[in-house]
């Protein structure tokens, strides 16, 4: 009997998600926020005056198409991905902040059984900086001009400028909600002259070449559909001698002679991609390869999957209370599906296919960079 419950539970959850998707999509209206309506426009559903009947027929067709794509974990186009990311974070960031605070990333679980989760998230930033610069260099040099690529609501930027007197940070995100909230929090914390946030695309950043001595990307790389362009942009905005730090979800490195992940591994990742608006994954080795091609030097990599391992269990536990469940349901389908995908993340880490990768390097001072 209990065996049946365990087997049927994922089916039931999937069914619930599909039906709530139908409800959500059919309840969209042209009055939705910009990020949402651009998503709808990309499908053409709200563009121009159309009859009520054809609108509803189109609505049903696109709803069915979405339900089918969701069921088969279909890959999204780059345009859908971009508007979907903005929509997902517009909708879910308030709930995350209410439950977890201003940092939207994993925690540093050393010791493994620590329960101060927000502090664990702050420690992750500090430990990553220490790992990348070395404790001594960090104390002596420290960053002065920081770009926070995929900044969420700006937790890293504000922490870094507080830590390094005289430094400034500029954060970019696809979500208008997050950019506004980041600026609001900077004002509340008396940091608005040193930490600012705007909506911009990491694949086409609104910054001059060589502008920053720290290019920081914490758990945003996994969203980038074109990793080569992403790495190219990170290197472009880094000042000569500046440091890049990329902390991101990767799939495991492929073994020699292995052409791809197994079908089973691909299937787990495809489901996570639908929920978190992610494109195809790459490995840490792929990042190293791309950085080498860009002429980066002092490249260092590390796998911290074991350090962040307790995080998802903590997130899942924290969502098992009435306030979180109500908040979750109020945040809509994409957030509910994001919560469901936590179980898949856990499964992916346990299966060894998902890695929490750290990569750092510097942009050379003198040598010619490839075009
Ligand atoms: N680094 C933050 C947030 C991580 S969540 C933190 O640790 O708190 C992922 C972030 O990446 C979101 O803010 C999302 O908007 C951003 N993002 C994803 N794709 C992006 C893109 N193409 N350009 C800019 N930001 C992007």
Provide the pLDDT confidence category of residue 132 given band limits of 50, 70 and 90.
very high
Can you tell me the distance from the alpha carbon of 37 to that of 29, in angstroms, rounded to the nearest whole number?
8
Are 59 and 23 in contact by the 8 Å Cβ rule? The answer is no
Q: pLDDT tens digits for 176-207? A: 999 999 999 999 999 999 999 999 999 999 99
- Which is the closest atom of ligand 1 to the Cα of 203? 22
What tokens does 234 get?
């990170």
User: If you measure from the C-alpha of residue 180 to the centroid of ligand 1, how many angstroms do you get, rounded to a whole number?
Assistant: 14
Asked whether the beta carbons of 92 and 335 are under 8 A apart, the reply is yes
pLDDT in tens, 96-107: 899 889 999 999
Question: What is d(CA 188, CA 295) in angstroms, rounded to the nearest whole number?
Answer: 41
Bridge partners for 199 per DSSP:
173
Distance 265 CA to ligand 1 centre (A): 25
* Spatial distance between the Cα atoms of 37 and 28, rounded to a whole number of angstroms: 9
Let me know: does 239 contact 212? Beta carbons within 8 Å. yes
DSSP assignment, residue 225? S
Q: Please, which pLDDT band fits residue 300 given cuts at 50, 70 and 90?
A: very high
pLDDT in tens, 319-340: 777 777 777 677 666 677 777 7
**Which residues are bridge partners to 302 per DSSP?**
358
> Measured in angstroms, how far is the CA atom of residue 220 from the centroid of ligand 1?
5
CB atoms within 10 A of CB 92: 22
**Residues whose CB falls within 8 Å of the CB of residue 188, separated by 6 or more in sequence, listed in order:** none
- Averaged pLDDT, 23-32: 32
Residues 219/107, Cβ–Cβ less than 8 Å: no
Of 278, 277, 269, 280, which Cα lies nearest the Cα of 347? 269
β-strands 354-362, 195-199 pairing = unpaired
Ligand 1 site residues (CB inside 6 A) read: 85, 89, 103-105, 150-152, 155-156, 172-175, 178, 201-203, 218-220, 223-224
Nearest CA to ligand 1 atom 16: 150
Least confident window among 9-18, 222-231, 310-319, 356-365: 9-18
Of the residues 175, 223, 228, 275, which should be mutated to test ligand 1's pocket, given the most ligand atoms within 8 Å of the CB? 223
């Amino acid at each position: 009997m209990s065996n049946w419950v365990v087997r049927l539970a994922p089916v039931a959850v999937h069914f619930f998600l599909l039906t709530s998707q139908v409800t959500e999509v059919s309840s969209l209206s042209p009055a939705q926020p910009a990020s949402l309506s651009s998503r709808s426009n990309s499908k053409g559903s709200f563009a121009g005056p159309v009859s009520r009947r054809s609108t509803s027929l189109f609505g049903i067709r696109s709803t069915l198409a979405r339900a089918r794509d969701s069921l088969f974990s279909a890959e999204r186009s780059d345009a859908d991905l971009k508007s979907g990311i903005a929509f997902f974070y517009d909708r879910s960031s308030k709930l995350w902040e209410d439950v977890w605070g201003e940092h939207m990333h994993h925690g540093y679980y050393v010791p493994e059984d620590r329960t101060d989760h927000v502090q664990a998230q702050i420690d992750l930033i500090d430990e990553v900086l220490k790992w990348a610069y070395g404790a001594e260099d960090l104390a002596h040099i420290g960053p002065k001009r920081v770009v926070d690529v995929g900044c969420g609501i700006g937790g890293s930027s504000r922490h870094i400028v507080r830590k390094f007197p005289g430094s400034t940070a500029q954060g970019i995100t696809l979500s208008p909600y997050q950019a506004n909230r980041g600026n609001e929090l900077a004002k509340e914390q008396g940091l608005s002259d040193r930490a600012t946030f705007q909506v911009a695309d990491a694949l086409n950043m609104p910054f001059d070449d060589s502008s920053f001595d720290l290019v920081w990307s914490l758990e945003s790389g996994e969203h980038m559909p074109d990793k080569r362009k992403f790495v190219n942009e990170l290197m472009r905005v880094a000042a000569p001698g500046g440091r890049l730090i990329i902390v991101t979800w990767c799939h495991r490195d492929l073994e020699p002679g292995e052409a791809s992940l197994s079908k089973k591994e691909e299937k787990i990742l495809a489901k996570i991609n639908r929920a978190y608006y992610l494109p195809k994954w790459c490995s840490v080795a792929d990042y190293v390869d791309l950085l080498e091609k860009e002429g980066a030097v002092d490249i260092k990599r590390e796998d911290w999957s074991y350090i962040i391992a307790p995080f998802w269990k903590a997130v899942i536990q924290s969502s098992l209370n009435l306030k979180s469940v109500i908040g979750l349901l109020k945040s809509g389908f994409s957030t509910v599906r994001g919560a469901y995908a936590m179980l898949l993340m856990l499964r992916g880490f346990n299966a060894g296919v998902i890695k929490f990768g750290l990569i750092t390097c510097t942009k050379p001072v003198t040598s010619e960079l490839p075009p």
